[in-house]
Amino acid sequence: MRPLCEQKITCGELARVYEQDGQMWTKKIATLLETLNSAVHAAGGSLPPLEAKRFREQYHQLMRRTEQEC
């Protein structure tokens, strides 16, 4: 199995995994991605560097927790 960071997964697939398996990380990642998407659209398509960095840090933190949960 490939590491999660190399897999492409949609928010719909994340929701399915949460509903079927109860893996909370999927809901957290989906929420973060939806929030990020809204922020990018509100900013006109590109986030300021500090805000982008904050989202990357949140994403990486969630991915580290994911590896522990799975």
pLDDT digits over 31-51, tens only?
898 899 999 999 999 999 999
What pLDDT score was predicted for residue 1?
Answer: 40
Distances in Å between the Cα of 25 and the Cα atoms of 10, 47, 48, 50 are: 14, 24, 27, 25
| Domain map (residue ranges) of the chain | 10-69
pLDDT digits over 24-34, tens only?
888 888 889 88
- 7 class by beta-carbon count within 10 Å (0-12 exposed, 13-18 middle, 19+ buried): exposed
pLDDT at 3 > cutoff 90:
no
| Residue the block writes with tokens 């999927």 | 26
What pLDDT score was predicted for residue 28?
Answer: 87
Per the CB < 8 A criterion, the answer to whether 4 and 67 are in contact is yes
Proportion of the chain above pLDDT 70, given as a percent: 86
Mean pLDDT for the chain? Answer: 82
